[in-house]
Amino acid sequence: MTAMTMAPADPCVDCVGIGWRQPHYETLLAERPALGFIEVHSENFFADGGIALAVLEAGRAAYELSLHGVGLALGSAAGLDHAHLQRLARLVERMQPRWVSDHACFARVGSGLHAADLLPIPFTDESLALMVSHVQQVQERLGRPLLVENISAYVGWAGDTLAEPEFFNELARRSGCGLLLDVNNLFVNARNDGLAPTAAALEAMRWVDAIRPGHVGEIHLAGHCEREDGLVIDDHGSCVRDEVWRVYQHALRRLGPVPTLIEWDTDVPDLGVLLAEAARARAVAA
């Protein structure tokens, strides 16, 4: 298998989108607010027909589309689920999205069990080789480069030999994929490492500084919550925090203009709240 070359990030300062969730299907299509793109979870549209696909086709006719998956489990030692990949390929062929993405995680084990979660992978040469192979298989089937997202992780592996940014740099170099940089995940992980908010933001900025410009094809912004026991959860259920906005501003200075998504998956508010967050992202980018 040969590596593909990711196209450069779109050189636009207003390419900001929102995650399009079921409560906003009708309103978005009726009001057609100014957005750079919309993003949906791929697996919600794997059926071969029905109202869900009809709605997505209407959204695709109005906006650029990004398909964001949660089920490829690219880091699973058990290998890819080829039935899942086939369903994704059919959706990509039908919708012709601008971007296709999934996560650097594992979820599958040898028995065929799927954890239905984004579990962290070790950052080692062996894990890197596995990820490169799986990403290349996906790209060969889809006929396009994939964007791979860094995750929020609440546990880690002993014996990591690669720093996380180095892992992603090498993954992009060897496979030709791009990086979907989730800025909130960087901040959440730093907070869960015991850093105070200001220090966590600085650590997230150092992470961004270690990524080679040109590898990042999309940025995600989202909210998080802090539990009473101190654990910070990436729940996508609130507005983006001020510290995360500062990391985002730093990322744009480092990486240049990159298409940016506002994610909101729990306690979904009125559409106007998401549009206000998108407007803030455009203002930061400008």
Tens of pLDDT, residue by residue over 172-203, are: 999 999 999 999 999 999 999 999 999 999 99
Give me the number of domains the chain comprises: 1
Domain holding 132, by residue range, is 16-285
Decide if 212 is inside a domain. yes
Decide if 5 is inside a domain. no
Query: Residue 144: phi, psi to the nearest 5?
Result: -160, 160
Look at residues 27, 34, 23, 96 and name the one whose alpha carbon lies nearest to residue 65. 96
- The pLDDT, as a whole number, for residue 230 is 84
* Helix/strand/coil for 149: strand
- The pLDDT, as a whole number, for residue 5 is 61
Decide if 7 is inside a domain. no
Decide if 137 is inside a domain. yes
- The pLDDT, as a whole number, for residue 116 is 62
The answer to whether the beta carbons of residues 107 and 119 sit under 8 Å apart is yes
Beta bridge partners of 102: 148
Instruction: Give the mean pLDDT of 26-49.
Output: 96
The answer to whether the beta carbons of residues 110 and 79 sit under 8 Å apart is no
Domain with residue 35: its CATH number is 3.20.20.150
d(CA 68, CA 43): 9
d(CA 27, CA 276): 15
- The pLDDT, as a whole number, for residue 62 is 96
Task: Please provide the average confidence, as pLDDT, over all residues in the chain.
Answer: 92
- The pLDDT, as a whole number, for residue 8 is 45
Decide if 260 is inside a domain. yes
- Token couple for 239: 């507005």
Decide if 189 is inside a domain. yes
Decide if 100 is inside a domain. yes
Is pLDDT of 9 > 70? no
Decide if 205 is inside a domain. yes
Q: Which range in 12-26, 103-117, 257-271 is most confidently predicted, on average pLDDT?
A: 257-271
DSSP letter assigned to residue 139 = H
Beta strand residue intervals within 206-265, DSSP E = 216-221, 225-226, 232-233, 260-262
Neighbours of 71 (CB within 10 A): 20
- Helix runs in 176-241, H state only: 183-192, 197-210
d(CA 45, CA 51): 10
Tens of pLDDT, residue by residue over 91-130, are: 999 999 999 999 999 876 666 666 566 888 999 999 999 9
Is pLDDT of 205 > 70? yes
Tens of pLDDT, residue by residue over 218-260, are: 999 999 999 988 899 899 999 999 999 999 999 999 999 999 9
Is pLDDT of 19 > 60? yes
